[in-house]
Homo-oligomer: A and B are copies of this chain.
C-alpha cells in the first residue's frame, strides 16, 4: 500500500449540532500532510450505522487511506465498532493484550472497572489493533481493495498518540513511492490579505504549476503558505525558498517568522536568544498575554510575572497609577498604561514590560472613549513607547487581536532597541 491520498471521516452528533469543534481532523491532516499524503476531503457524519457504511462506500474507492475518528468511547452513543465489524464481516474477539492494558489502566487509577470498559477489549478479528497506551479504546486497522481503513478514538490525546506511535510508522514502512510535499511559511502581522495579494501579485503569477500559495488570516496574523510537490526534496526546498524569500523581502516590515510559529513563540525565542526578561501589567486582556507567553515550554527563563489590575483600585494600590491620572484621564489612557508598564517593570525587575488597558466591549464605551479603544505601552531602559488602537470586533475577537498586537509591539521593541 503506497499511500498518497487520504479521506478523513469525523463521527459524532455533537459535531453536527456544533457543540464540539472538530480539532482532531486538523491534527490528523497535519500529520498526513507532513508525510506527503494529500487529504482529498473530510466528512463529518452522524454516529449511526448507515451513515458510517455509506461514508465508507464513498471513501474507500477514492483514497488509499480512510481515517475515522470518534465514536469509540464506552458509552451508548457509540456504534462505530459494531458497524465496522459488520462492514468488514468480522466477529468481535477479546484481545488479551488490550484486556490486560484496560485492567491495569483502572487498577492504576484505583477506579472500579465496568462491563462497558471490559467490552472495549473486544476487537473485530479482521482488524489489526493499534495500541492505545493512554486510554481504553484501541485503534483498529482494516484493509479493503488495497485501501487502509483506520478507526481511532475521539479523545484528542489518545487519537494523536495512536496516530504518531502506531499508524504513521506502519504507513511509512508500507511506502514505496517517492513523491514529496514541502511547505514554506511567511508569517505576517498587521497587513491585510488583499494588500499583500496586491503587493506580491507578480511573484504569485510567476509560480510554477507545482507550487501554490494560500493566504490564511487569523486575528491580525496572516500566514502565507507555499505548498509544492516534487520528487527531490532538496531541489524542491531550494526552488520554493527563492519564492518565499522574494515575498519576505516585499513585506519586510510585517514578517515575524519564516516557520510555523506564533507571536508568543517568536517573542519567547527572541527573549531567550538575547537573555532578556519580561513582565506584563494587564487590564482588559485579563492575563491572556501572560497565559499565551507561558504556553511556551521554557518561558520560565524569560517571563517573571504579571499584575492583572482589572479594578482601578488595584491599578492605584498595586501598580501605583496616580489617582489624578485615573480621575482626570481615566484607566484607558496613555498616561495610565505608561505608569502601569514602568511600574510593573520596576516591581518585577525585568528588562521589558508591556501594559494594556482598554475597552473590549460589548459595553463600557463613552463618546470620547468608544468600545474597542485600547492603549498599549512597552517599556525598557531605552524607551517607554505608547500606542493606541481601535478594535472594531466583538469582545472575544477584540481580546485575541489585542493580545496579538501587544506581543507584536514587544517583538518590534526588542528588534528596535536590543538587537
CA distance A41 to B55 in the complex (A): 10
Q: Are A17 and B29 in contact (CB under 8 A)?
A: yes
Residues 199 to 219 of chain A near chain B (Cβ within 8 Å): 204, 212-218
Segment with Cβ contacts to B, from A143-151, A249-257, A286-294, A375-383: A286-294
Task: Name the one of B17, B30, B41, B212 contacting A45, with C-beta atoms under 8 angstroms.
Answer: B41
Q: Are B291 and A116 in contact (CB under 8 A)?
A: no
Oligomer: number of copies: 2
Residues 361 to 376 of chain A near chain B (Cβ within 8 Å): 361-363
Which chain B residue has the least Cβ–Cβ distance from A161? Answer: B394
A residues with CB within 8 A of B = 10, 13-23, 25-33, 38-46, 51, 73-77, 111, 114, 116-117, 155-157, 183, 192-195, 197-198, 204, 212-218, 223, 225, 227, 282, 284-291, 293-295, 297, 299-300, 303-311, 313-314, 317-318, 347-349, 361-363, 393-397, 399
The 9 closest A-B pairs by CB, nearest first: A287-B287, A286-B294, A18-B29, A18-B30, A287-B290, A42-B44, A306-B308, A18-B26, A305-B314
> What are 24 A-B pairs at a CB distance below 8 A?
A13-B212, A14-B225, A16-B38, A16-B39, A17-B227, A19-B225, A21-B23, A22-B25, A42-B43, A73-B217, A75-B194, A111-B192, A155-B217, A157-B397, A286-B287, A287-B288, A287-B290, A287-B291, A299-B310, A300-B310, A303-B310, A305-B308, A305-B318, A318-B348
